[in-house]
Structure 1
Amino acid sequence: MTTTSKNPNWFDIGMDAWALAAESNIVIAMRIGSLAQGGPAAVQEAGRMVSEKVAANIKLGCDLMTGKLGSSPEAIVSGSIAHYAKSVVANRKRLSDTPAAQMIENGAEQE
């Protein structure tokens, strides 16, 4: 998803942020569909969602405090986007085989 080079500029960072937002919205739609179906799978997904977010925020905070993201504002923002993009892409791949994802794809084809 992110294509920003080692020397990020604000335009590329903006494009990466836009791509992350678009991808995140797809994952949110898939998760809402899974949660709306209810049952044990929904409970498991809700727990997974919360634990992933907490872990991602803690890891990003540690990376920020230890300087792993860099020292310039551009490097920090770019690194933060890349950090969250990994989780979003992984979740989209994982959720793409769920019934909720199939409904989203079929609904988009019918319009």
Structure 2
Amino acid sequence: MFFPFYSTMMLGLESGQVIGLRMLKLTRGGNDAVNEMHLMLEEKINAAFESGTNLMAGASAGSVVNRYRQHVAANAERLSIG
């Protein structure tokens, strides 16, 4: 019963962490910042198409949120290392 709520709330918290890590990278400037901006836009466009496609194919909202969480986790790991 609380799974969709929990998953959505965790997505919000995890996304906030990634936003902070991205802002740190962007404030440093340089080629890394430009590349991060391009990657961020590309990821958002791809995620929108992926979630739309999954919803049209009959996926639940919870599964779409969980997929977003996978993307967010991958970004958090990538940004924490670099």
**TM class, shorter-length:** over 0.9
Match of 1:31 in 2: 22
1:64 is displaced (CA, Å) by 1.1
Measured against aligned partners, the alpha-carbon deviations of 1:33-63 in whole angstroms (never above 9, x if no partner) come to: 1001100000000000000000011011111
Tell me which residue corresponds to 1:46. Answer: 37
Give the TM-score of the pair, scaled to structure 2.
0.94
Unaligned ranges ≥5, structure 2: none
State the 4+ residue runs in structure 1 displaced beyond 4 angstroms.
none
Give the Cα separation in 2 of the matches to 1:13 and 1:62: 20
Query: How much identity, in percent, do the aligned residues show?
Result: 34
TM-score, with length taken from structure 1:
0.70
Larger Rg: 1
Contact 2:54 2:64 (C-alpha < 8 Å) held by counterparts: no
Contact 2:25 2:33 in 1 (8 A): yes
Alpha-carbon RMSD across the aligned residues, in angstroms, is 0.9
The structure, 1 or 2, with the larger RCO (C-alpha pairs under 8 Å, 6+ apart) is 2
Question: Higher helix proportion, which one?
Answer: 2
Aligned residue number for residue 63 of structure 1:
54
Q: How many residues align?
A: 82
